[in-house]
Amino acid sequence: MSDINTREDAIKVLADIKAEQKRLADSNRDLKEGLEAKAADLKAAQQKLAESAAPRVETVSEKEATLRTYIRQDGSLDAAAMCSDEVDRGDWHADFKRLVDDRNLVKMLKADGRTPKMDSRIARHMESAPDIIQRVFSDAAGVGADWIPDVMVPELAKAVYTPKAVEQLFPTWEMTSKNLEIPFQTLTVKPYLKSAATYGTITADDDSASKVSVVAQSIAARISADEDSTEDALMGALSVLRESVADSISSGVEDAIINGDSTANHQDMDIAASPNVWDIRSRWGSGTGTAADHRRAWLGLRAHSFDALSTLDVSAQTYAVLMELRAKLDGPQGAGGDLALIVSPEAYVTFLLDLTETATVDKMGAQATVLTGQVASIAGMPVVVSDYISSDMETSGLHESPFTGTTTGCLIVNRSRYFMGNYRQMTTDVQREIVNGLVDIVATRRCAFFSLDAATTASVAYGFNI
Q: What is the average pLDDT value for the chain, to the nearest integer?
A: 80
The residues, ordered by sequence, that sit 6+ positions from 424 with a Cβ below 8 Å of its Cβ are 216, 444, 445, 446, 447
Q: How far is CA 333 from CA 338, 339, 364, in A?
A: 7, 8, 24
- pLDDT value for 141: 44
Range in 36-40, 41-45, 151-155, 294-298 the model is least confident about: 151-155
24: DSSP letter: H
3-state secondary structure of 300: coil
Amino acid type, 67: L
Q: How far is Cα 456 from Cα 463, in angstroms, rounded to an integer?
A: 17
- 440 phi, psi to nearest 5 deg: -95, 130
Q: How far is CA 168 from CA 165, 231, 253, 356, in A?
A: 5, 37, 11, 27
Q: How far is Cα 448 from Cα 141, in angstroms, rounded to an integer?
A: 50
Residue 59 predicted with pLDDT over 50: no
Range in 257-266, 287-296, 331-340, 396-405 the model is least confident about: 331-340
Mean pLDDT value across residues 371-386:
81
337 with 417: CB under 8 angstroms?
yes
**Which residue from 274, 300, 267 is spatially nearest to 289, judged by alpha carbons?**
274
What is the band of 370 on the pLDDT scale with cuts at 50, 70, 90? Answer: very low
- pLDDT value for 190: 67
Residue 74 predicted with pLDDT over 50: yes
Residue 309 predicted with pLDDT over 80: yes
- Max mean pLDDT range (133-142, 408-417, 447-456): 408-417
- Max mean pLDDT range (65-74, 284-293, 404-413): 404-413
77: DSSP letter: B
Q: How far is Cα 463 from Cα 257, in angstroms, rounded to an integer?
A: 16
Q: Which residues of 195-220 are buried (b: 16+ CB within 10 A; e: fewer)?
A: eeeeeeeeeeeeeeeeeeebbbbebb
Mean pLDDT value across residues 380-387:
90
Q: How far is Cα 199 from Cα 192, in angstroms, rounded to an integer?
A: 11
Give the DSSP letter string of 358-414: -EETTTSGGGGGSSTTEEEEETTEEEEE-TTS-S-B-TTSS--TT----B--EEEEE
410 with 195: CB under 8 angstroms?
no
441 DSSP β-pair partners? 223, 430
Q: How far is Cα 34 from Cα 44, in angstroms, rounded to an integer?
A: 16
Q: How far is Cα 385 from Cα 111, in angstroms, rounded to an integer?
A: 44
- pLDDT value for 152: 53
Which tens digits make up the pLDDT trace of 9-45? 888 888 888 888 888 888 999 888 989 889 888 888 8
| Number of CB atoms found within 10 A of residue 440's CB | 14
Residue 131 predicted with pLDDT over 70: yes
Which tens digits make up the pLDDT trace of 202-222? 665 554 556 778 888 988 888
Mean pLDDT value across residues 41-62:
69
Which tens digits make up the pLDDT trace of 184-201? 655 556 677 666 555 555
N-term to C-term CA, the chain = 24
**Which residue from 444, 418, 414 is spatially nearest to 429, judged by alpha carbons?**
444
What is the number of H-type helices and E-type strands within the chain?
A: 15, 13
12 with 3: CB under 8 angstroms?
no
Domain extents in the chain: 7-53, 61-155, 215-344+386-464
Instruction: State how far Cα 376 lies from the chain centre.
Output: 19
Q: How far is Cα 166 from Cα 225, in angstroms, rounded to an integer?
A: 31
- pLDDT value for 58: 45
**Which residue from 38, 3, 8, 2 is spatially nearest to 20, judged by alpha carbons?**
38
Residue 161 predicted with pLDDT over 70: no
Range in 146-150, 284-288, 461-465 the model is least confident about: 146-150
**Which residue from 67, 151, 138 is spatially nearest to 105, judged by alpha carbons?**
151
Residue 458 predicted with pLDDT over 70: yes
**Which residue from 255, 266, 297, 271 is spatially nearest to 403, judged by alpha carbons?**
271
Mean pLDDT value across residues 64-79:
77
- Max mean pLDDT range (83-87, 263-267, 333-337): 263-267
